[in-house]
Amino acid sequence: MVGLALVIERFISLKADKILPPKLLDEAIMVSRNGIPGPDVVTQLEQNSAFGEVLASGFRALNSNPRASEDDLRSSLEGAGRMAAAKLQRYLGALATIASAAPLLGLLGTVIGMIEIFGSQGGDGGMGAVPGGGNPAQLANGISIALYNTAFGLMVAIPALIFWRYFRARVDDYLLGMELASERFARHLVTLRK
């Protein structure tokens, strides 16, 4: 259930318009052609998307120090980019943990079930019981139930692993796009310095 909730949350949170809107960079450059936009525009940009937060950090750095060096501007963008990356990667570790732990939990259930089955097949005599004293049909039924534990573990792990890899690739694509766009924006900010 937790894995399913995480998958749904990541599908909702990792939509392109919430992370890296396609025309946002061009709009930010257009708005700032004649100078740095005012605080209300910067705040609106920051609330637009994760990439908007990165762009807003560049404007804020230039507002606080109009003669900021190129390195200072890039550092501001990189810091905001790291914060955005952390938000994008949120819950991916938990999904990876579910993917790796589910088969182990299924195997644990199988082992415990098998121990119980073989313990019940020993008969009433304890250590000195006569071999073959158990019911073969009961043993086969018990083994099949124990193996269901492994199957359920794999049924949780396989989709969790697939979605983890999918979301990981999606986040990597967003981060690459943000990095390339931030480079272009940094060059634009350098031209706005006084």
Domain boundary assignment for the chain: 2-90+170-192, 98-159
Enter the DSSP assignment of 127: G
Task: Give the span between the Cα atoms of 32 and 69, in whole angstroms.
Answer: 18
Enter the DSSP assignment of 129: P
Tell me: the pLDDT tens digits for 92-128?
Answer: 999 999 999 998 888 888 888 888 777 766 655 444 4
pLDDT at residue 130, rounded to an integer: 44
SS (H, E, C) 105-119: HHHHHHHHHHHHHHH
Task: Give the span between the Cα atoms of 40 and 99, in whole angstroms.
Answer: 44
Q: Which of 22-26, 59-63, 139-143, 180-184 has the lowest mean pLDDT?
A: 139-143
Alpha-carbon distances, residue 32 vs 78, 138, 144, 152, 189 (angstroms)? 20, 77, 68, 56, 9
Q: What is the mean pLDDT of residues 48-59?
A: 92
Could you give the 3-state DSSP secondary structure of residue 173?
A: helix
Asked if pLDDT for residue 148 goes beyond 50, the answer is yes
Element (H, E) at 175: helix 136-192
Across the chain, what does the average pLDDT equal?
86
pTM (2 d.p.):
0.79
Task: Give the span between the Cα atoms of 94 and 182, in whole angstroms.
Answer: 29
Asked if pLDDT for residue 133 goes beyond 60, the answer is no
pLDDT at residue 128, rounded to an integer: 44
Tell me: the pLDDT tens digits for 55-94?
Answer: 999 999 888 888 888 899 999 999 999 999 999 999 999 9
